Amino acid sequence: MLEARVTLLVVTLAAIGCPPARPAADGPPGRAYPEADLGPGGPVFVMDDAGAECSLHWDARSKMFIHVASCGFGASTIGVRTAPALTGPWSAPVQVYRPPETDGPRPLVYAAKAHPELAGPDAADLVVTYATNTWEFGEQFTPEGSRSLYWPRFVLVRAGQ
């Protein structure tokens, strides 16, 4: 099974030939860390099994970072983690939705992501998408496959649940 980890990676702008950037006037709290501040250990893992496709955003309402990802591959659920800072500590994933396609024959459900820029009917709602596909490439080009496969599915979950 594939394993994905989130690593905070710091690259100096000078190292890639860019002029120094100015910090943004708005946005979530935080700052860039100079390479010298990382210490001899360098970057560290802050979250295991983060998912190959995921989303990570600052939620001003809860004052937490929210990470959304598919848990598993093939048959999967949608998990949400929270943390007060990018460096953690991160909560364990809370399973907030089980896509119905997960229970079908030969499921291929993946790529869950939050879309905080889209508003749900309630302030605590978080719009999440996920993808469905097939293990048989040719099925995408059948009339049923072209209507039902590889289109994003939208669901509402409770933010920070």
pLDDT tier for residue 1 given thresholds of 50, 70 and 90 = very low
pLDDT tier for residue 146 given thresholds of 50, 70 and 90 = confident
Question: Average pLDDT of the chain?
Answer: 79
At 58-93, the pLDDT tens digits run: 888 888 999 999 999 889 999 999 999 888 899 999
The answer to whether 109 and 131 are in contact (CB under 8 A) is yes
Structure tokens at 139: 């099925």
Rounded to the nearest angstrom, the gap between the alpha carbon of residue 55 and the centroid of all alpha carbons in its chain is 2
Task: Count CB atoms within 10 A of the CB of residue 103.
Answer: 10
Percent of the chain with pLDDT over 70: 73
The answer to whether 65 and 116 are in contact (CB under 8 A) is no
Contacts (Cβ under 8 Å, ≥6 apart) of 55: 67, 68, 69, 112, 113, 114, 115
Domain boundaries, the chain: 6-158
Provide the pLDDT for residue 158: 79
Per DSSP (E only), the strands in the chain are: 6-7, 45-47, 54-59, 64-71, 77-83, 94-97, 109-114, 125-132, 153-158
Is the pLDDT confidence value at 37 over 80?
no
Q: pTM of the entire structure?
A: 0.73
Position with higher pLDDT, 21 vs 17 = 17
Identify which of 95, 102, 111 has the alpha carbon closest to the alpha carbon of residue 152.
111
